[in-house]
Amino acid sequence: MLKDFRTVWAGCLRTIAAEIGEQSFKTWFRPIVPVELKDNVLTIQVPSNYFYDWLEEHYVDELRRALFQELGAAGRLEYSVVVDQGTPLDQPKTLHLPPARKQAAPERDAPPPDARPRPVPGNGPASGPRYYQAAGSNRPVMAPAAATAEAAPRNPFQQARAVDGNLVPSQLNGSYTFDNYIEGDCNRLARSAGIAVANKPGTTSFNPLMVYGGVGLGKTHLVQAIGNHIKATGPERFVLYVSAEKFTNQFIESVKSHKVQDFANFYLQVDVLILDDVQFLADKDKTQEMFFHIFNHLQQSAKQIVLTSDRPPKDLQGLEDRLLSRFKWGLTADVQTPDFETRVAIIRNKMEQDGIDIPAPHVVDYLANSVHTNVRELEGVIASLVAQSSLSRRDIDLEMVKQALRHIIEEVEAEVNLDFIQKTVAAYFNVSVDLLKDKTRKKEVVTARQVAMYFAKHHTSHTLKTIGFHFGGRDHTTVMHSVQTVSDLVDLDKKFRSQVDDLRKKFAK
């Protein structure tokens, strides 16, 4: 009777599951798809070359025993390796590879199951090497980490002396939730996408979800809210939040300590990976290569990936094209500077959370008008006001708000120069300072550049020629044209006038 390839592989999985740990089985065998069985050759499809290499390095013996159990000594294995073409619209190609190691069947006089290697007691901490007593020998030998149910990949979040081999907490701040993430026109798309991902991680078209925007606009709050919601609704999921800087440092440490495979295996077990400030990976080629393999594995295994950046993918410099193309596979959503109404809502919500009576409307309006571009800075001022109100047992009034804002206003007055103007305007329009000096004619960049020149003309003593020089070597006529264009638009476009007024308050002396 001919055996069906699905039945054969199901039998192999049962054998392998009895030999290795649950997490390792979930990571390395659940994603495998049986393809065909022909002439006693079972073909299985794996997600990537990296996946293939890992199986051959760590699980070839388990595969060999399982295949022998199902097909006998004549059974052979072949891999079909998925090679994606850089865009989800292209069908993946497959490379048919034989096993890298010889697949000899188990010898006829191989020891029975009860004579297989057994643990040697008293070999030190659980996170250290696992030693096994070979059958028929008194000499302990070291077993591969992935070959036993007890072994686990080294945890890069633990100190070197830690002995707990369990998975780490998610590194999430529990105070970041959707309930206290105020929605406005500035972040509506990003918040809606975040909720969709949190409800169905890995199964929506928003994979990866990339959230970008300037400093202090709530990116970290949003992506951690996603993680917290997923953990609350599915505690069994391995959700991990990590900054790109920490990821890089962990990878460097794994290279130094010769534990790169442990590092990779740890991240490949994640169900939801949240990587903050992905722009930090720029020009770090080896780290990018490792992240590329991890990204591919997680994405192809229907695991959720969430990224943040200070700029959109098209403006990320120093990242490989193959990574950038993958960032665009899902949804890219920006968070912008909050408008006046959103700032008012943030103030009221924060004070309600802290149990403070909300001040009179004109006091709230004054505060919302005084801190324009940075939610983090606004929340810092609110925290200061809450502390002052509690300690002095006074209600928050206009005088207290002005006192709390004094240092911010003084800082602005002291720093109105070309560099400050460029940074402030670039952050407001969500473009980089480098683009203000670049030759690009993209509409959003041109607008930001013209506005920055306008304020440079009115708030510094520099000549038009000097201003042009600091904007990529442009001549004085370009500066004159920019200043006139902004002046005209202020008169004609209400929304544009509001944006200029917002910025003007930051430069007011």
**Paired strand residues for 131:** 142
Contact between residue 288 and residue 323 where contact means Cβ atoms under 8 Å apart: yes
- Token readout for 321 is 């094209």
Three-state secondary-structure class, residue 476: helix
Residue in 73, 81, 53, 69 with CA at minimum distance from that of residue 17: 69
> What is the distance, to the nearest Å, from the Cα of residue 455 to the centroid of all Cα atoms in its chain?
36
Give the integer Cα–Cα distance in Å for 240 and 231.
10
DSSP 168: P
Q: Tokens 């393999």 sit at which residue?
A: 293
> What is the distance, to the nearest Å, from the Cα of residue 169 to the centroid of all Cα atoms in its chain?
16
Contact between residue 244 and residue 281 where contact means Cβ atoms under 8 Å apart: yes
DSSP 74: G
- Token readout for 13 is 């999985």
Give the integer Cα–Cα distance in Å for 300 and 312.
23
- Token readout for 397 is 């009034």
Contact between residue 421 and residue 456 where contact means Cβ atoms under 8 Å apart: yes
Give the integer Cα–Cα distance in Å for 239 and 234.
10
Three-state secondary-structure class, residue 70: helix
Contact between residue 38 and residue 69 where contact means Cβ atoms under 8 Å apart: no
Tell me: is residue 216 an annotated ligand-binding position. Answer: yes
Contact between residue 266 and residue 234 where contact means Cβ atoms under 8 Å apart: no
Angle ∠(413,419,425) on CA atoms, nearest 5: 80
Give the integer Cα–Cα distance in Å for 500 and 277.
29
Three-state secondary-structure class, residue 131: strand
Residue in 252, 328, 330, 264 with CA at minimum distance from that of residue 297: 264
Angle between helix 443-459 and helix 476-492 axes, rounded to 10 deg: 100
- Polymer length in residues for the chain: 509
Angle ∠(403,404,406) on CA atoms, nearest 5: 65
Residue in 440, 477, 471, 501 with CA at minimum distance from that of residue 485: 477
**Paired strand residues for 304:** 272
**Backbone CA torsion sign across 497, 500, 501, 502:** positive
**Binding-site residue positions for ATP:** 216, 218-220
**Binding-site residue positions:** 216, 218-220
